[in-house]
Amino acid sequence: MAYKGKYKVKDVSKYLGDPTKVRFLSLWEYSLMKYLDACINVVGWCSEDVKIPYVCGTDGQNHLYLVDFYIVLNNGKKLLVEVKPYKQTK
């Protein structure tokens, strides 16, 4: 069963995008959002705000890939994170 919905950001000072437009497409994404919102080592995060342009090899058209999460840690590290079930990584 797929879970979808809007996420209400608790700590809006940490959210790097528009905190009124945060949505999740799976229970795993929802769980990660709750974790990022509460984690003291996370100083900033956003969901589906980082867009990577690419040209598709099959249709030759320009597309945008939306990265699931962009995370900034308190040690300065910046992460791009994809949330996928194992069967979709093969």
The residues annotated as belonging to the active site are 29, 68, 84
Transcribe 48-75 into DSSP letters. Answer: S--EEEEE-TTT--EEEEEPSEEEEETT
The SS3 call for residue 30 is: helix
The SS3 call for residue 34 is: helix
Compute φ and ψ for 38, nearest 5 degrees. Answer: -100, -20
